[in-house]
Amino acid sequence: MFKKGELLKRKIRRYAVPAVAVVVLAAVTIVFCAAVSGETVYVYDDNFVTTLKTSKLTVGEALEEAEIITGEFDAVHPSADTPIEAEMEIRITRAIPVSLIEGETVREVYTLSGTVGEVLSEQGITCGAYDGVVPAPETAVTRGMEIEVRRNKQLEYFGDGGNLTVNTQAGTVREMLEGLGVTVGDSDFTEPAMDTVIENGMTVRLVRVTTKTVTESVSIGYDIEEKSTSSLTKGTTRVAQEGKNGVQTDTYTVVFHDGVEVSKEKVSSEVTRKPVNKIVEKGTAAKKASSNKSSSATSSGYSSGSGTVTTAKGENFSYKKKLVCTATAYDLSYESCGKNPGDPYYGITASGMKAGPGVIAVDPSVIPLGTRLYVEAADGSWAYGYCVAGDTGSGIYGNRVDLFFNTRQEVRNFGRRTVNVYVL
């Protein structure tokens, strides 16, 4: 038989164990039922839709349970601490990575904005009136896009004879000129160089380069040849042939910068007219004995002694000698002197005097150079007047003189005449 207290304890143990088991089973059942009976939600992750059965209390817990990870810059709507509701729609907007370029600075950012302009606003970037953005502000944002903010730079541009104040977003001098529509030739160049990075306040100069081929004529001096002749007495000379300068044509390549010559290089040289040597004859014959003929005109044309004469102009003067000569005329034309303007010694006589009215050519063996003379017609009908023996000529020998006139027509009109030449 059991004691009174012991029987009571046995009864408690007998019924307590089953009761605990019932309680535990009930709790497990409740948890299981809760899991099975969780709320249905829909997760929109960009272009993907996921249906979840969850018993979690908040949006954040539900996403974590479904192992849906969101980044720091991603957006979740409704927010992560929002309580779960049946048939709830959870939308995840993923942030897009883009590169922001501003000058030499490049930043990688994540954005939820839809357009380039919105990204700039989101990042606190403002643009001035002359600043530019590439791509345009209304362009839709795409993953990995490069957004460049091109700040305006103001510079002074000099080119083609003018200058401009230019506002530009170009990165280099080349891009700036392209933006202005300026064509740069293969030989043209800029200061600074075309690939120089544009800086605010700089000066850019375009230099146009042109090359021309030019020719120049250079005078070639003639030589003087001396020849002996028995037709002249010793100590006398005469010009048998006047010298003529030759012509050399030089060809140059000339380079101009904006019309200003900067270099000149000779590329060829050609003698286009050979010089003609001057030939001077030197006498070798013995001098003849002097003649004692009468004072009347001799065969040599002299009259003996001095005298006084009244000229065709009514002037009286004394003379030392008188010669009857054949006179011709010359001027400064090429036909007369064999030289052109610009040739060395053009207009310079054999005595070194400058050719002009009153300078006549003589045979120095008859009338020494420098002698003062008076010339008039043999019949006294006209007078050349006072003059000086200052030149010689290949055809002027013996009693012959060549009178200077200013024009070719006067030379033609004069022709050939007999004159009295008075040595003063």
Same domain (yes/no): 376, 303: yes
CATH number assigned to the domain comprising residue 107 = 3.10.20.90
Q: What angle do CA 169, 173, 176 make, to 5 degrees?
A: 45
Asked if residue 187 is part of any domain, the answer here is yes
- For 164, half-sphere exposure in the C-beta direction (CA atoms, 13 angstrom radius) is 11
CATH number assigned to the domain comprising residue 161 = 3.10.20
Tens-level pLDDT at each residue, the chain (424 residues): 444 445 444 544 554 444 444 333 444 333 334 444 589 999 999 889 999 999 999 999 999 999 999 988 999 999 999 999 999 999 999 999 999 998 889 999 999 999 999 999 999 999 988 899 999 999 999 999 999 998 999 999 999 999 999 999 898 999 999 999 999 999 999 999 999 999 999 999 999 999 999 999 999 999 999 999 887 788 888 888 889 999 999 999 999 999 999 999 999 999 999 999 999 888 888 865 544 433 333 334 544 457 888 776 677 888 999 999 999 999 999 888 888 888 888 899 988 899 999 999 999 999 999 999 999 998 888 999 999 999 998 889 999 999 999 999 999 999 999 999 999 9
Same domain (yes/no): 108, 185: no
pTM for the whole thing? Answer: 0.44
- Nearest in space to 118 (alpha carbons), one of 144, 93, 100: 100
Backbone angles phi and psi of 419, in degrees to 5: -135, 155
- Nearest in space to 236 (alpha carbons), one of 280, 279, 277: 280
Asked if residue 193 is part of any domain, the answer here is yes
Among 74, 93, 112, identify where a domain stops. 93
Same domain (yes/no): 333, 396: yes
Asked if residue 188 is part of any domain, the answer here is yes
Among 150, 168, 191, identify where a domain stops. 150
Same domain (yes/no): 200, 245: no
Residue 99 and residue 252: Cα distance in Å, rounded?
57
Asked if residue 110 is part of any domain, the answer here is yes
Same domain (yes/no): 301, 401: yes
How does strand 383-391 pair with strand 372-377? Answer: antiparallel
Quote the tokens at residue 105.
Answer: 């600075």
How does strand 203-207 pair with strand 153-159? Answer: parallel
Asked if residue 27 is part of any domain, the answer here is no
Give me the domain span that covers residue 341.
Answer: 295-423
Same domain (yes/no): 302, 401: yes
Residues 6+ apart with CB under 8 A from 103: 151
CATH number assigned to the domain comprising residue 390 = 2.40.40.10
Same domain (yes/no): 418, 321: yes
Same domain (yes/no): 173, 193: yes
Same domain (yes/no): 133, 110: yes
- Cα dihedral across residues 253, 258, 259, 264: positive or negative: negative
Same domain (yes/no): 329, 406: yes
Among 228, 247, 281, identify where a domain stops. 281
How does strand 96-102 pair with strand 260-273? Answer: unpaired
Asked if residue 7 is part of any domain, the answer here is no
Asked if residue 288 is part of any domain, the answer here is no
Q: 257 to each of 159, 163, 191, 252, 265, how far by Cα in Å?
A: 11, 17, 13, 16, 15
Residues 6+ apart with CB under 8 A from 197: 171, 172
Same domain (yes/no): 86, 103: no
Same domain (yes/no): 403, 299: yes
The total number of structural domains in the chain stands at 5
